Amino acid sequence: MTGGSATFGAYLITGAANSVYGVSFPAATLSTPHALTVRAFRFYSATGNSTMTGRIGPAGTDNPHVGATISVPCQFKSDGIDEVVPSFTLTVTYQ
């Protein structure tokens, strides 16, 4: 990677203490400015790592992180421009 570092998305989810919630992501999205495919979203809950669920902590919050995989073709030249994943919808539902 040139000129930057990968970081995860951080969220704050609030609700009733000890409630379980589920998440869903888009199947894929495109980065900018080079339209690289971003997929394989991964979810990491501070209160219980799982691929698609989390738990609201005793204080009524959870601070999950989201990561993904970006497909970079061979011989890709970024010209020193960082790729950015645009906004996407993270849907949270109580279970």
Query: Whole-number mean pLDDT of the chain?
Result: 82
* pLDDT > 90 in the chain, percent: 6
pTM of the model: 0.68
- pLDDT of 59-79, one tens digit each? 999 988 888 888 888 888 777
Contacts of residue 62, defined as CB under 8 A and 6 or more positions apart, other chains included, come to: 12, 13, 21, 45, 46, 47, 54, 55, 56
The answer, yes or no, to whether residue 26 has pLDDT greater than 80, is yes
pLDDT bin (cut points 50, 70, 90) of residue 1 is very low
- pLDDT of 34-62, one tens digit each? 888 888 888 888 766 666 888 898 999 99
Written as one letter, the residue type at 15 is G
